[in-house]
Structure 1
């Protein structure tokens, strides 16, 4: 059995039995939210040296670290190729395919994944963010959408405009989370490609969990039903979306963080909400366990 790994940037995951914890707290301010390409490559080398040869689901802390999924997926280049490709399935309330001019950002990493030769397609499930609405479309990276490498599966956001520019297959809209998951799993039924699964818990409703970001509409059973259906094909996975309080040292990251309007978290709520997160992690890890 491959054991889970905790990349401990922000001390938000807590202790999990049998998990290997790697201390990356010294990287928190450098990597969190976004970083330049030079620092990202430096961290990549550190990560490669620190990961065990075989490991299970990786937990990374706050969704501010979701761009680390790119590095974990890149590791799979050793086993897969354009002739033997994988698909990447991401649960996220945001597309994570936005333009970022200063390196790699937790909201920009998906386009890099879509460009990997051994990744045939990327699906982002559960988006309710206006990042994919008409007034923010220019902020998205268009190439993977027009080249049919990326599909947004969305709720509660108007994407009807996409049909007018030939992107109706890339922008899928559904009336309910049940409809979205049912349709996705129906289309995956005969697919045999291996899958890398990435879960950002901000895709879940605030009725289920609280995260650092604005949240979607899915329930826990939507994640569990999907995992159950695709589990034989999962060759790697990660979980992010933990709750943590962070004050950036650099004025630039403070500015960017303020522009994204992350919700304020009171110390009074922090411990209780982190405990809810912890329990959900145990449920997800059990579902993903090989």
Structure 2
């Protein structure tokens, strides 16, 4: 099967998308994983093989929506299918570099990035955007010592400073990472990185605003990714985007929360319209 950058996938573990509309229109490949056991927050081996068998034909290309932050480990499955050197840009309010309570043998939503760094030879750089600086120090210290030249972090404090008009440190990190570096990029977006003023998720959240988020995407990609906008080139122009994944849905349970669903639906719609090239 030919892998396409415009592939759009909706992977449903729960009913979190029930009240949303962004995927309705026939262009999404939908997969129902709700009947697979061993998937909530932790992914056991049997579930991993079953899911991989279904997503492998599509590869990492395109954009993939896969439910709440409990399933962020899906990023590890998608990046594991990338067979070329690349940069991972991860937006998340958490580091996802923890050692799981059951050990590193079991992949979890809180450990997937650690697994990726330790297991993926093609992962040359990680740009982690959003966790508080103290959380980064506490959960990633051993990894930064071992993989220090592969990890670049933009903590929540630098996001706050940039949104207050002091964007120098943040922009300098982006400039150093992407100027003269032609490697393609894969984006992973956990929407808990956003301020609760924008949308709500099922985890504690950060402070990232919508304008700065799309500006960072533009700088990383080297062009304006939003649909309907001209592709204005910047530093690192013509960078290829392998794909993107999105999680962080608000649980829909019986009755749901119409306002939270609407907030997430609006953001998901904007992300689904991004022009990856």
TM-score (norm 1): 0.74
Structure 1 position 74, deviation (Å): 0.7
Equivalence for 1:271: 258
Distance verdict in 2 for CA 1:119–1:93, change over 3 Å: same
Counterpart Cα distance in 2 of 1:288 and 1:92: 22
Distance verdict in 2 for CA 1:38–1:131, change over 3 Å: farther
Equivalence for 2:44: 36
Distance verdict in 2 for CA 1:53–1:186, change over 3 Å: closer
Counterpart Cα distance in 2 of 1:202 and 1:230: 20
Counterpart Cα distance in 2 of 1:53 and 1:215: 30
Equivalence for 1:195: 185
Superposed CA deviations along residues 186-235 of structure 1, whole A, max 9, x for unmatched, are 22233211111101111010111111111111111122112222333311
1:56 aligns with 2:67: no
Equivalence for 1:100: 100
Highest RCO, 1 vs 2 (Cα 8 Å, sep ≥ 6) = 2
**1:197-212 paired onto structure 2 within 5 Å:** 197-212=187-202
Equivalence for 2:161: 176
Residues 111, 144 of structure 1: 8 Å contact kept:
no
Structure 1 position 280, deviation (Å): 0.7
1:287 aligns with 2:271: no
Superposed CA deviations along residues 233-277 of structure 1, whole A, max 9, x for unmatched, are 31111111111157xxxxxxxxxxxxxxxxxxx957x12111110
Distance verdict in 2 for CA 1:274–1:182, change over 3 Å: same
Secondary structure of the structure 2 residue equivalent to 1:88: strand
Structure 1 position 42, deviation (Å): 4.0
Residues 60, 242 of structure 2: 8 Å contact kept:
no
Structure 1 position 89, deviation (Å): 0.5
Counterpart Cα distance in 1 of 2:45 and 2:153: 26
Distance verdict in 2 for CA 1:132–1:54, change over 3 Å: closer
Secondary structure of the structure 2 residue equivalent to 1:282: helix
Match of 1:243 among 244, 250, 253: 250
Counterpart Cα distance in 1 of 2:210 and 2:145: 28
Runs of 4+ in 1 over 6 A off after TM superposition: none
Q: Structure 2: which 5+ runs fail to align?
A: 222-238
Structure 1 position 101, deviation (Å): 4.0
- RMSD of aligned Cα (Å): 2.5
Secondary structure of the structure 1 residue equivalent to 2:124: strand
**Larger helix share, 1 or 2:** 1
Distance verdict in 2 for CA 1:110–1:145, change over 3 Å: farther
Counterpart Cα distance in 1 of 2:75 and 2:93: 16
TM-score (norm 2): 0.77
